[in-house]
Amino acid sequence: MPDSLILPTITDIEAARAPASMIARVTPLIASRQLSAIAHAPVWLKAEVLQRTGSFKVRGAATFLAALDQDTRQRGVIAASAGNHAQGVAVAAAAFDAPCHVVMPFGTALPKERATREYGAVVVLHGQDLGESVVRAKALALEHGWTFVPPFDDLQIIAGQGTLGLELFDQAPDLEVVIIPVGGGGLAAGTAMALKDRNPDMRVIGVQAEAMASAVASFGEDAPLAVEPASTLADGCAVPRVGNLTLPLLNRYVDEIVAVSEEWISTAMVWLLERSKLVVEGAGALGVAALLAGVVDVHDQRTAVVLSGGNIDINSLARSVEHGLARAGRYLQVVATVPDQPGHLARLLAVTAQSQANVLDVWHRRSAPSLPIGAVEIELLLETRDVGHAAALVEALLETGLRQVDAQIGLVRLRDPAVSEPTPDDSA
């Protein structure tokens, strides 16, 4: 760690409680009977999704704004963000009567852009990705004398996010394990420091998405390692490089950092919506995903999982729910290529009815380029109970004489032997 780095201390986190509490509310710690049964341990959910603006970000933003002198605040602040940080800074700036600008990349979800404007910020759309938005925001800060509010790699930001750890310990001082999402590392670093100060024996586990696991790659190293940008449901934690300040704190106060797949993230989002009645974004669901996937062992240990945010637009939520239902065996797409003759659709529907699966949609295709002459492609979208029920349904369809030619999560392709296989020329 370079000697020039000034890292936050527990004193900074304790000092941040007053300014953070001006905006942030105390969020509930909710016992989860169902998750406790799965994890074989008492589990609580720290519902930061019920925080103002829907995420923990207001804690750090309020602390940062409070540390500025009045003249600096009056000149204004600027941030770059596609979501939670933007809204947190906008609310904090309004509370301190500071003019606020936020640069958001083109393609930012409309509800997040609208919410940021409604909180009082002037939104500037610039850049194809967040990196280009950051460059623009810093240029505007220099041009106008505004103060740039960093998303995570800042002493005041980390201290403010760490107030969540103090609050969590006050609510449940006998916790043994706390699981926290990790993006740039501000929340995990500050929270872990606060928890370890109160109880050095507490185990703190960070969770990232496999698609962009910069903290996993950097954990234990002397300097942050960058990873390639990638698409992930946990877009709130999609940071290609963990912070220079946050990494040494993660190394010191976090016990391990694990990664989870997109499939488990979507499963966790659906699970939280269905079982806990909480709308949680992909990044916020990382801790639950880790428990469901079994990548962390908390057996018999009193455990809290931080649900860091719940800001997800309705279209993304719908897609995530569909993916999660398919992953859980609740949606099954059956695509069968059969002779274009009477009776074949009836055969598929009869098996579906006997298996007690619910038909959501039916499509007939006769004009697909890959279809042999005299064949039809029948697609059924079915609702099934679970993975076992879906597998039993597929087995029943195979018993009618159909052959399985492909299978993926939530999708099976079947073919009647009477339909000729496509030749290389046909498929070309």
- Beta-sheet strand order (sheet of 375-383): 358-365, 375-383, 331-339, 411-415, 403-408
57 is catalytic: yes
The count of structural domains within the chain is: 3
Contact 237, 286 (CB under 8 A): yes
Most confident of 111-115, 206-210, 233-237, 399-403: 206-210
Q: Out of 86-90, 173-177, 307-311, 369-373, which region has the weakest mean confidence (pLDDT)? A: 369-373
State whether 423 and 314 are in the same domain.
Answer: no
Rounded mean pLDDT of 144-162? 97
Q: What is the pLDDT of residues 325-368, one digit of tens each?
A: 777 778 899 999 999 989 999 999 999 999 999 999 999 888 87
Question: What's the CATH number where 348 sits?
Answer: 3.30.70.260
Position 1 in a domain:
no
Measured at the CA of 84, the angle between CA 43 and CA 293, to 5 degrees, comes to 35
320 in the same domain as 334: no
Q: Which CA distances in Å does 360 have to 90, 380, 383?
A: 43, 8, 7
User: Could you tell me which residue, 142 or 108, shows the higher pLDDT?
Assistant: 142
* Cβ contact 14:198 at 8 Å: no
State how far the Cα of 213 lies from the Cα of 234, in Å rounded to an integer. 11
- Domain boundary (148, 172, 198) is at 148
Is the alpha carbon torsion for 149, 151, 155, 156 positive or negative?
positive
Residue 280: per-residue pLDDT: 95
pLDDT of residue 302: 98
Catalytic residue among 57, 133, 196, 218: 57
pLDDT in tens, 181-204: 999 999 999 999 999 999 999 999
Decide if pLDDT at 427 tops 50: no
Count CA atoms within 13 Å of residue 179 on its CB side.
30
Q: What is the pLDDT of residue 236?
A: 87
DSSP letter for 55, please. Answer: B
Its domain, for residue 67, covers 59-148
Whole-number Å distance between alpha carbons of 2 and 89: 29
- 196 as an active site residue: the answer is no
Choosing from 325, 354, 387, the residue where a domain stops is 325
Domain boundary among 133, 148, 163: 148
Catalytic residue among 32, 276, 308, 320: 308
Compute CA distances 77 → 86, 100, 112, 142, 320, whole Å: 11, 5, 19, 11, 34
pLDDT value at residue 82: 82
SS3 readout for 261-282 = CHHHHHHHHHHHHHHHCCCCCC
Contact assessment for residue 246 and residue 214, using Cβ atoms and an 8 Å cutoff: no
pLDDT at 235 over 90: no
One domain, residues 316 and 237: yes
- Mean model confidence pLDDT for the chain: 92
39 and 158: one domain?
A: yes
pLDDT above 60 for 1? no
pLDDT tens-digit map of 295-332: 999 999 999 999 999 988 777 777 777 777 777 778 89
d(CA 418, CA 400): 13
CATH number of domain containing 130: 3.40.50.1100
Tell me, yes or no, whether 41 and 126 share the same domain: no
